[in-house]
C-alpha cells in the first residue's frame, strides 16, 4: 500500500480544511504515506463540481452510497453536517472502508457507540477530527504533562468563546437547529474542550452543567458557508433549538477539578479556545487565538525569576515544526489538520489505530451526554451512569 | 464634625493596609473629612506597641472592650481574624460606634445578619471592606455597565487564583483553620469575586459549587504575618479544615450566567483576582495583577478595528486619578484602601450609609452559604432559600 | 492567457515558500489567474529532483540558462542566493521573461538599477519579494494610514530581531559571507523594515547608521537549509564578513522620524519583525510573531476608554481573509507568500506592474546603500546623493 | 543623628512625590533613619501654605535663602523648576547642607559640574532623583546583569514615550520653554533612559542624535500642575523652544549598541518608559506602564520551554517587597520615590554617598550635551570630547 485513496463527504468549511491538509501533506511531510484525493461527495451537483475543481479532487459523486461502493477508495472522510455522520460511517465500515469523521461523532451517545461498534466489527481504522490536539503548542502541553514537569494536576479551566451569533438578526443556520446539529455551543465548541481535557488531564468522573439560549428566535436563513450566513429575504423567524452557551464543572478520575464554558455570546472573542492547567510543579496556558504560543510556569524556577514563559512553539524542539519554516515563522489554523492527517497516514503506515479514534469520540460523547442530563435533571451526573 | 476619630482592632496585614489609607487620605484627598488615628488595639502588647509606632496611631489598647468604651472614638475599624468580627461589631454598635469591618463579615450568615441588625438598631454607619471595588479600573467597569455601554449582560467568569500554599510543607496558619477563618479559598478569595459580581452584574439567583482540599495535613505553624509564615520546629502536623479550592456556577436575577473559581493552588498566580463580563454591546476584562488596566471591547466599533482596548485607567477621566499622579503613572494595591476610606469619610460628610455596607456583607454571605450548602447537598441552591 | 507558466531558480527556504504559494493560490483564490509550476532549477541534480517531487514541479533544470531558454515558461522566479540574482534576472528579461525576484534585489545599488533597467527595456513585469506587506494586519495598517485615520505621521520605530546566530559556535553559513549574501542583518532583515517603512510612511530623506560584528570568526559550515546549519567536522574557522547588527535613524520626506534596528543577536527573539507608527490621530503596532494582530489606538476615542485595541485581523473586513477560514481562525507566515503571488497573478490579469516591483527593490537598495555609506563615513547621508 | 531634617524647595508634581516618600518611609521601612519634614519652600505664599498643610510639613518659607540659612535643617531637597537647581544647590552646599536634587541636575553640563564641585568642596552628601532605578523590577534587572545571568551585553533599546502635548492646542507650559526647562523630551524623558542605561549597561562612549519640534507654536499658558495645564484666555501664541522628540544611537564603552528615543508625540503612550537589553545569555524587558513586571529570557533554558518569562517582581525575593504587601499585591509609581529616599537615608546611616549621586547627574548631563552637540553638528560626538 503506497497511497491511501480518499473519498470525502462534505465540501464546506471542514471539507475545505481537510482538502487542504491532503494537499499539504506530501509537500511538507514527504516521508508520510500519501493520500490520494479520489472523489468528493455532496448533493448539490453544481456546487460540488466547483468544490472539486477548487480543492483538487479527481472525481465527484452526488450520492454517498455510490462513493462507498467504489473499489478505488480506501478511506471515507465524513465532514457532512452532524446528523449524517452515523448512517454514512456505518455503511462505509460495513463496506470495509476506513473512517475519518469530523466531530461530534454523532447526535447522541447511542449513535456514537453504534458507529464505534460498526468500525470495530469491520476491523477498519477510525479517526475523529479533534484537530486542536495537533497544534504544536498543545503537543508541547501534552509532553510537559506526560514527562511529569507540571506535576499532579489540580485544576483545568477551559473556555471556548465565540461571538458570531451575538447579533439577534443573525439567521437561523443549521448549526442553530437541534435536529441537524444535535447541540449548540456544547457540542460544537465544548466538545473540543472536553477532548483537550481528556487528552491532557485524563478521564472525567462526574459533571454538572447549566445552559441558556439568549436569543430564542432568529430570521430564517439563506445559505451558509463556514460560520457566516445571509438572512432570509422574507423576514420570517424560527425558534433556536440549541444552546447559545453551556457551562459545566467536572471532577476528574485523577482528582483534578475542571471548569468549562462554551458560548457564542462572548463579544470580542472570535475563536478563544483556551485552557489553563495548574499542577503541583507548574502551570500551562493556551489560547487558540495565539495558537503558536504556550505559556508555561515552573515552581522550581529560581525564586527571583519565576513567571509564566511565553514559549513560541515554532522551534525545532517542538512537534512538527522542522517540517515547516525556521523558528519564529508561525503557522495557522489549517496546519492542525495537516498534522491530523499526518497521524492518520502514519497509523496506516504502522498498521495501528490512529489517535484520536472513535473511542475518543465516544468518550467525548459520554461527557456531552452527562452534561446534558445534568442540565435536564439539575444534578451531578457520573460519567459511569451512561 | 470635622474629623472622624478611629479605633482599630487588628494590626497585621489588613491593619497595615487600613493605617496606610488613613495616613494617605488627607494628603491626596484634602477636601475629604479627615480620619484621626486615635487608638490601635491587639492582644500582644509588645507587638502592638511596635505597630502603633510604625503605623502612627496615638494610643494602643490591648482590650477591645476598652477601645469601644472610649469617648474619644467615633468609628471602630475591625480587621482582627474573622472569628472575632461578630462580637466586636455588635458590642461597638451597641456602644454607638460606627463600624468599618473587613470581609468576610462573619463566619456564618446568621452571624452576619445579627451584625447588620445590631448596626441598624443602633443607627450607626456600617461599611465592609471589599476593597477591590475601589480600583479605578473596576470603577470604570461599573461606569460602562451602568451607562449601558456593555448592553445586556450574558456572562461573567471570575477567578481568584493564588499559589501561596501550593507547597505541602507550608504550615497550618490560621487561614487554614475553619474555626478561626470560617472558610478557605471561598470565603477569603471567592468572597471578593462574589462582591464584584454583585457590584457589576447584580444579584445572584441560584448557585451550585464543588470544592477540594488537596493537601489534607500540614505542619503546625510558627507565627504569621500577611500571607507568609514559618513552620513549626517540632514537625507536628494538623488537619487542614478549610477548602483549598472552590468552584461554582451561578445564575443571576438579570439572566446572566456566572462561572466562579477560587483557589490557592494555581501555580504562577500570586494574586489573580480576574473577571470577564460579556454583554450584548461589548465585553470587559480585569486582572488585579495588572490593576491599572481594563480591557474593553465594543461591538459597535468600526468593522475593521474591532478589538479589546487596553485602557490604562490612570487618566483624569478615570475615578480618583486626578488626586494622584499624571496619566500613565500607575498606582498599586494599597490605593484601593485609600479610595475605600474616602468613600467612608464621604459617607460621614454626606450623612449617608457608605457603600459597600453590612447589607452587602450579608448578601455576599448569603451567596457563600448557598455555595456551601450546594456543595454539601450536591444540588442547586437558590439564594432565596436562605 | 489563462495560466502563467513559472520557472523557478532556487529550492531551499524561499523556494519552498514560493512553491507552497503557487500550490495554495488556485484552491483559496480560485478566481485568480493560475500559476503553472513548469520547472524548478538548481545545481545539485539529486537534491533538485527531491525538491521537484516534494514541491510538485513538472520538470527540473540544472542550468538556469536552459530554464530561461524554454519556450513554455512565462515567468522566472528567482530565489537563489543573492549573488546570483542579477545575472539571472537580466538574462531572463532579455529573453522576454517576466520576473519575480526575492529580496534583496542585488548585492549593490548599481546592480539593482541594472536589473530594473533591463526589465524596463524588455517591457516585462517585475516583482520583488517583500512578503511582509501581505500580512492582513499590515494591509490593515496601510489602509488606516491611507484613509487618514492615523493622521500625520510623526514616528516610526522598526526592529527586526532574531537570535539564530547568538551561539558563537554556529557555523559560517552563506548568509554570513559578504561575497554571497552582500550584507548581513541589514540586507537580510533591515531590508524588510525599510520596505515596510516605505510602504507605510513614505520615502526616506536621509539616514545615519552604525553596525557591529560581535562574533568575528566562526566554524566553517557543513550544509544549510533555511536558517539552521551544521558545523564542520574539521573545526576550522573563517571570518564573518557581514554585520551581526545594524542600527540607523532616518528622516522621511514627509517629516517623520524613524528608528531602525536589525540584529541576529537578540536572545529570545526568533522573528520579531515589528514596528510602531505614531501619528497625530493615532498609533499602530505590529509584531510578526503575532502576525494576525494589529494594535491600533485612536486619539478620538472617548476619553474614558482610550487604549490600544488588539485587532485580530482575521475578520471578513480584513484583506484576503474571506478566502481562508472563519473569523478568529488564524493564518501563518506562508500565507504572506500566497497573497504576494495573488498580487503577481492579478497584475498579469490586469496587465499592469505588480507591487512591490523592482522599482521598490531599487528604492530599498538606495536606503541600504545610504546606510552603508553613512556607517563607513560616519555621517548623515541623503538618499538623493546616490 | 537619629533623624534627618529636611527643607524642600518646590511643591508641585515632584514636591508631592517627595513629600509622600518622606511620609511613607517610617511606616514601611521602620528600621530606616527617619526624615523630618521641617519646612517647605515656594514663592506663592498662599499656594505654599496649602501644600504645607496638605503634604504635612511643619513650616513654610517663601525665600529659599532663608530656608538654607536655618540651623534646624540638614538636607535641602530641590525640586523647583530646572533653571533654579544650580543656584540653590551651590548656596545650600556652601551652607553645609546635604543635597537631594531632582533631575536634570542643571540646564547645562558646565552648571552641573559646578554643582558637583560645590558639593564635593563642601563635603556634603548629594543625591539626584533618578527614581526609576528604584522600581523593584529595575532592581531585578540590575541584579541579573550584575550576577552575569544575562551575559555580555550586545544591545539596549530604550524609549520614553508620552503623548500629553500631541494636541496642538495644549498650552506653552514651562516644560516647553528652553530657558526654564533647559531641554524638552531629551532632558525630561531621555535623561531617565540615559541614567537607566548607565545603571544597567555602563558608560556611553559616543552618540549621534536627531530631534524635531512638530508643533512650533502653542497658546500661552494659564497655570500648570504635574503634566496638565489650561490654555490662556486670550488666544495668544508663543514659540515652542524645546524638542518634541529626540532620537539617538550610542556605542557603549563595553561594546554594546544603544538605540534611544524620547518623545511627547506617541499617541496612546502615557508613560512608556521602556527598555530591552539583549545579552549573550539572555534578555530583559521593562515597561514602566507595567512597572511591577520584568520580562526575562535565558538562552540556557531547556530547548522546548524557551520564552520570555513575565516575572511579577512582588515576591519576597525582589528588592523592597517584603516591606510592602504579600506577593502579587502590586505597588505604583510613587513607591519608586520611597525607595529612593530609603537609599538616601541609608547613606546617612552608613555615612557614605547615596547612589545615584551628583556624579551620576553630571555623567547623564555629559551624554545629554553630547547628544545636543551631535544634533547641532550632525556628527558622532564622543562623550570624552566634553
User: Are A214 and B154 in contact (CB < 8 Å)?
Assistant: yes
Residue A247 has pLDDT above 70, yes or no: yes
User: Are A263 and B154 in contact (CB < 8 Å)?
Assistant: yes
Q: Provide the mean pLDDT of chain D.
A: 95
C-alpha to C-alpha distance for A80 and A60, rounded to whole angstroms:
15
Region D126-146: mean pLDDT is: 98
Between C304, C312, C318, which is nearest B140 by CB?
A: C304
Are C44 and C138 part of one and the same domain?
A: no
- C contact residues 327-366, partner D, Cβ 8 Å cutoff: none
Sheet of A34-41: strand order equals: A59-61, A34-41, A3-9, A75-78, A98-101, A126-128
Give A221's pLDDT tier (boundaries 50, 70, 90). confident
- If you compute the radius of gyration of chain D from its CA atoms, what whole number of angstroms results? 21
CATH number at residue B147: 3.30.360.10
Are D22 and D40 part of one and the same domain?
A: yes
Give the mutation candidate from A286, A309, A330, A337 for the C interface (greatest C CB count, under 10 A): A330
Are C22 and C100 part of one and the same domain?
A: yes
Region C374-378: mean pLDDT is: 98
Are C66 and C38 part of one and the same domain?
A: yes
H or E element: which one contains D67? helix D64-69
C-alpha to C-alpha distance for A59 and A22, rounded to whole angstroms:
15
Low-confidence ranges of chain B (pLDDT < 50): none
User: Are B227 and D335 in contact (CB < 8 Å)?
Assistant: no
What torsion, rounded to 10 degrees, do the Cα atoms D42, D44, D50, D56 define? 10
Q: Kindly give the interhelix angle for B358-377 and B191-200, rounded to the nearest 10 degrees.
A: 120
Q: For every residue of B303-329, which 3-state class applies, written as one string? A: HHHCEEEEEECCCCCCCCHHHCCCCCC
C52 within domain boundaries: yes
- Per-residue pLDDT of B66-85, as tens digits, reads 999 999 999 999 999 889 99
C-alpha to C-alpha distance for D334 and D336, rounded to whole angstroms:
5
Inter-residue contact C80 to C51 (CB < 8 Å) = no
Are C72 and C156 part of one and the same domain?
A: no
Are C147 and C89 part of one and the same domain?
A: no
Asked if the C-beta of C289 comes within 8 angstroms of chain A's C-beta atoms, the answer is yes
pLDDT of residue A235: 73
B145 within domain boundaries: yes
Q: For every residue of chain C, which 3-state class applies, written as one string? A: CCEEEEEEECCCHHHHHHHHHHHHHHHHCCCCCEEEEEEEECCCHHHHHHHHHHHCCCEEECCHHHHHHCCCCCEEEECCCHHHHHHHHHHHHHCCCEEEECCCCCCCHHHHHHHHHHHHHHCCCEEECCHHHHCHHHHHHHHHHHCCCCCCEEEEEEEEECCCCCCCCCCCCHHHCHHHHCCCHHHHHHHHHHHHHHHHCCCEEEEEEEEECCCCEEECEEEEECCEEEECCCCCEEECCCCCEEEEEEEECCCCEEEEEEECCCCCCCCEEEEEEEECCEEEEEEHHHCCEEEEEECCCCHHHCEEEEEECCCCCCCCHHHCCCCCCCCCHHHHHHHHHHHHHHHHHHCCCCCCCHHHHHHHHHHHHHHHHHHHHCECEEHHHC
C-alpha to C-alpha distance for B367 and B156, rounded to whole angstroms:
15
A382 within domain boundaries: no
Are D156 and D121 part of one and the same domain?
A: no
Residue A323 has pLDDT above 60, yes or no: yes
Give D54's pLDDT tier (boundaries 50, 70, 90). very high
| Residues of chain A contacting D318 with CB distance shorter than 8 Å | 304
Which of C104, C131, C158 lies at the terminal end of a domain, its last residue?
C131
Q: In chain B, which ranges are continuous DSSP H helix? A: 13-28, 45-55, 64-69, 85-94, 109-122, 136-146, 178-181, 185, 191-200, 333-350, 358-377
pLDDT of residue C229: 56
C-alpha to C-alpha distance for D365 and D361, rounded to whole angstroms:
6
Asked if the C-beta of B318 comes within 8 angstroms of chain C's C-beta atoms, the answer is yes
Asked if the C-beta of A225 comes within 8 angstroms of chain C's C-beta atoms, the answer is no
B386 within domain boundaries: no
User: Are B326 and D226 in contact (CB < 8 Å)?
Assistant: yes
Angle at B374 between CA B373 and CA B377, to 5 degrees: 80
Give D174's pLDDT tier (boundaries 50, 70, 90). confident
Which of B132, B157, B182 lies at the terminal end of a domain, its last residue?
B132
Inter-residue contact A196 to A187 (CB < 8 Å) = no
User: Are D309 and A306 in contact (CB < 8 Å)?
Assistant: yes
pLDDT of residue C223: 55
Give D228's pLDDT tier (boundaries 50, 70, 90). low
The tally of domains found in chain C comes to: 2
A386 within domain boundaries: no
- Per-residue pLDDT of D72-85, as tens digits, reads 999 999 999 889 99
Residue D321 has pLDDT above 90, yes or no: yes
Which of A85, A115, A131 lies at the terminal end of a domain, its last residue?
A131
Pairing of strands A75-78, A3-9: parallel
User: Are A157 and B208 in contact (CB < 8 Å)?
Assistant: no
D382 within domain boundaries: no
- Per-residue pLDDT of C286-306, as tens digits, reads 999 999 999 999 999 999 999
Give C333's pLDDT tier (boundaries 50, 70, 90). very high
Percent of chain C predicted with pLDDT > 70: 96
pLDDT of residue C174: 86
Are D55 and D157 part of one and the same domain?
A: no
Are C160 and C301 part of one and the same domain?
A: yes
Are C280 and C200 part of one and the same domain?
A: yes
Give C227's pLDDT tier (boundaries 50, 70, 90). low
User: Are A309 and D309 in contact (CB < 8 Å)?
Assistant: yes
| Residues of chain D contacting B19 with CB distance shorter than 8 Å | 27
Phi, psi dihedrals of residue C155, rounded to the nearest 5°: -140, 145
Direct distance between the N- and C-terminal alpha carbons of chain D, in angstroms, rounded to an integer: 40
Give D2's pLDDT tier (boundaries 50, 70, 90). confident
Residue range(s) defining the domain that contains residue D306: 133-354+364-377
- Per-residue pLDDT of A352-385, as tens digits, reads 999 999 999 999 999 999 999 999 999 999 999 9
User: Are C263 and D278 in contact (CB < 8 Å)?
Assistant: yes
Give D230's pLDDT tier (boundaries 50, 70, 90). low
pLDDT of residue A134: 98
CATH number at residue B49: 3.40.50.720
Are D317 and D285 part of one and the same domain?
A: yes
pLDDT of residue A1: 61
Kindly report the nearest CA distance between residue B347 and chain A, in angstroms.
37
Which residues, at least 6 apart from B6, have a Cβ–Cβ distance to it below 8 Å? B22, B35, B36, B37, B38, B73, B74, B75, B76, B77
Residue D226 has pLDDT above 60, yes or no: no
D38 within domain boundaries: yes
Give D8's pLDDT tier (boundaries 50, 70, 90). very high
Between D263, D299, D306, which is nearest C155 by CB?
A: D263
Question: For residue A277, with 0-12 CB atoms within 10 Å meaning exposed, 13-18 middle and 19 or more buried, which class applies?
Answer: buried
- Per-residue pLDDT of A70-118, as tens digits, reads 999 999 999 998 899 999 999 999 999 999 999 999 999 999 999 999 9
Are C7 and C76 part of one and the same domain?
A: yes
B267 within domain boundaries: yes
C-alpha to C-alpha distance for B79 and B20, rounded to whole angstroms:
14
User: Are B315 and C296 in contact (CB < 8 Å)?
Assistant: no
H or E element: which one contains D111? helix D109-122
Amino acid at each position: 500500500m503506497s497511497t491511501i485513496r480518499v473519498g470525502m463527504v462534505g465540501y464546506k468549511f471542514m471539507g475545505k480544511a481537510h482538502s487542504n491538509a491532503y494537499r499539504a501533506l506530501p509537500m511538507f511531510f514527504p516521508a508520510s504515506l500519501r493520500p490520494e484525493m479520489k472523489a468528493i461527495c455532496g448533493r448539490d451537483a453544481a456546487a460540488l463540481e466547483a468544490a472539486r475543481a477548487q480543492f483538487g479532487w479527481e472525481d465527484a459523486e452526488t450520492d454517498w452510497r455510490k462513493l462507498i461502493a467504489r473499489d478505488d477508495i480506501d478511506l471515507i472522510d465524513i465532514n457532512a453536517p452532524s446528523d449524517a455522520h452515523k448512517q454514512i460511517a456505518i455503511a462505509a465500515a460495513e463496506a470495509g472502508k476506513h473512517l475519518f469523521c469530523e466531530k461530534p461523532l454523532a447526535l447522541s451517545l447511542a449513535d456514537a457507540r453504534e458507529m464505534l461498534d460498526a468500525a470495530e466489527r469491520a476491523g477498519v481504522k477510525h479517526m475523529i477530527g479533534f484537530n486542536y490536539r495537533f497544534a504544536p503548542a498543545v503537543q508541547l502541553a501534552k509532553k510537559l504533562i506526560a514527562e511529569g514537569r507540571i506535576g499532579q494536576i489540580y485544576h483545568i479551566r477551559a473556555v471556548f468563546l465565540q461571538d458570531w451569533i451575538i447579533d439577534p438578526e443573525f439567521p437561523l443556520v443549521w448549526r442553530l437547529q437541534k435536529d441537524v446539529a444535535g447541540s449548540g455551543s456544547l457540542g460544537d465548541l465544548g466538545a473540543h474542550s472536553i477532548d483537550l481535557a481528556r487528552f491532557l488531564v485524563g478521564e472525567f468522573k462526574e459533571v454538572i452543567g447549566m445552559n441558556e439560549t439568549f436569543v430564542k428566535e432568529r430570521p430564517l436563513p439563506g445559505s451558509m458557508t463556514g460560520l457566516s450566513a445571509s438572512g432570509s429575504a422574507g423576514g420570517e423567524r424560527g425558534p433556536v433549538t440549541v444552546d447559545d452557551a453551556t457551562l459545566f464543572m467536572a471532577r476528574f478520575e485523577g482528582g483534578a477539578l475542571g471548569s468549562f464554558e462554551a458560548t457564542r455570546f462572548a463579544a470580542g472573542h472570535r475563536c478563544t479556545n483556551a485552557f489553563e492547567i495548574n499542577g503541583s510543579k507548574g502551570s500551562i496556558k493556551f489560547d487558540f487565538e495565539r495558537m503558536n504560543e504556550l505559556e508555561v510556569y515552573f515552581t522550581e524556577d529560581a525564586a527571583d525569576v519565576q513567571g509564566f514563559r511565553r514559549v513560541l512553539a515554532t522551534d525545532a524542539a517542538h512537534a512538527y515544526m522542522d517540517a515547516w519554516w525556521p523558528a519564529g515563522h508561525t503557522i495557522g489554523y489549517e496546519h492542525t489538520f495537516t498534522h491530523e492527517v499526518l497521524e492518520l497516514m502514519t497509523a496506516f503506515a504502522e498498521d495501528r489505530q490512529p489517535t484520536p479514534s472513535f473511542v475518543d469520540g465516544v468518550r467525548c460523547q459520554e461527557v456531552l451526554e452527562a452534561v446534558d442530563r445534568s442540565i435536564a435533571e439539575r444534578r451531578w451526573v457520573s460519567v459511569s451512569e451512561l
